[in-house]
Amino acid sequence: MRRTTLVPAALTLALLMLTSSAVTAGGDVTVMQGAVNTEQPTAENNTFNIFGRPNAEPCWGHFNNTDADNSNNGYGEKTGSGSSVVEIDWHCRMDPVLQDTFALKEGDNIEVHLALDITGDANCQGQCENLNVSLMRGSVAAVTQEFNAGEGESIMIDWVIPVTPDLVPWNRTDDNPGIKITWAGQGQQGNFIFSGQPAEFRLYYTHPCHSDTTAPQEANCNSDTEKPANHNSTVTFPILNQTEADQVLDTGGADEEETPGFGAVVGLGGLAAAAWMRGGREEDE
């Protein structure tokens, strides 16, 4: 009699767990599908904008064109003194980090655009180096290019990177996007006739004041922060839509992962069914 009482209880527990699991899984899927994070990459939202502190330590980036923590003046810079050497080693990582794996269209181009002001001799012996820019995947440089950028204001670096097969998948675990910039230049020492010129390196960020259409007074801009739109430093990725990405990445097992714990629930249901059959057999005896 006792076993007969326990059998319906086991079945009830199994049904409750199945219902709970289905509701939880369904709830998670709904949240994931409904919430749109504009800082994350999609086929339509494919421009990585660079932001940072006034000294570029740190700098960062994401796929929205505004950031509340961005430098108010719209750039990050480092300045030396006299003939000292200024060394730049800035890694602008995606923040918040990449949440979902995405894929690029093979044969298209990744387009890197940087706006810089540079003062300093990059050809000094031993300590100096030309501008080097790296497209980063996590802590690994996927591609690096050296530029003889020279000196001056509003130096525009436009780097086109063809998407080869190894650049198609970007895994959310290891491939957080980023841009790394290195440079080293020496200032000029002054004398009693000529004033010196310290080395300086400035990276312009994406900023509301960098626009061809926005009136300065509308964005609280001034003569120092107002720049043309080409002073927004960005990286544009040719991102595939979800359907195309699923085909390229062969993510056919996604449906099985949408109901976590389903296998365990099925197993419990099987045990309950076995208990029912056993109880039935014992009653017949």
What whole-number distance in Å separates Cα of residue 76 and Cα of residue 93? Answer: 15
Q: CA 239, 243, 248, 251 torsion: positive or negative?
A: positive
State residue 150's pLDDT score.
93
pLDDT of residue 9: 52
Write out the two tokens for 154: 């509003």
- Alpha helices, DSSP H only, in 141-250? 242-249
| pLDDT (0 to 100) of residue 250 | 84
Separation of CA 98 from chain center: 5
Torsions phi, psi of 280, nearest 5? -65, -40
Nearest to 97 by CA among 151, 9, 24, 172: 172
| Cβ pair 63, 40 in contact under 8 A | yes
- At 220 the pLDDT is 79
Q: How far is CA 170 from the centre of its chain?
A: 10
The pTM of the full predicted model, rounded to 2 decimals, is 0.76
pLDDT at res. 123? 86
- What are the structural domain ranges in the chain? 2-36+249-284, 47-240
| Cβ-based neighbours of 17, under 8 Å, separated by 6 or more | 265, 268
pLDDT tens sequence for the chain (285 residues): 444 444 455 445 444 444 444 434 444 333 334 467 899 999 999 999 999 999 999 999 999 999 999 999 999 999 999 999 999 999 999 999 999 999 999 999 999 999 999 999 998 878 899 999 999 999 999 999 999 999 999 999 999 999 999 999 999 999 999 999 999 999 987 665 566 799 999 999 999 999 998 665 666 788 889 999 999 999 999 999 999 999 999 865 444 444 444 444 444 444 444 444 444 434 444
* pLDDT at residue 108, as a whole number: 99
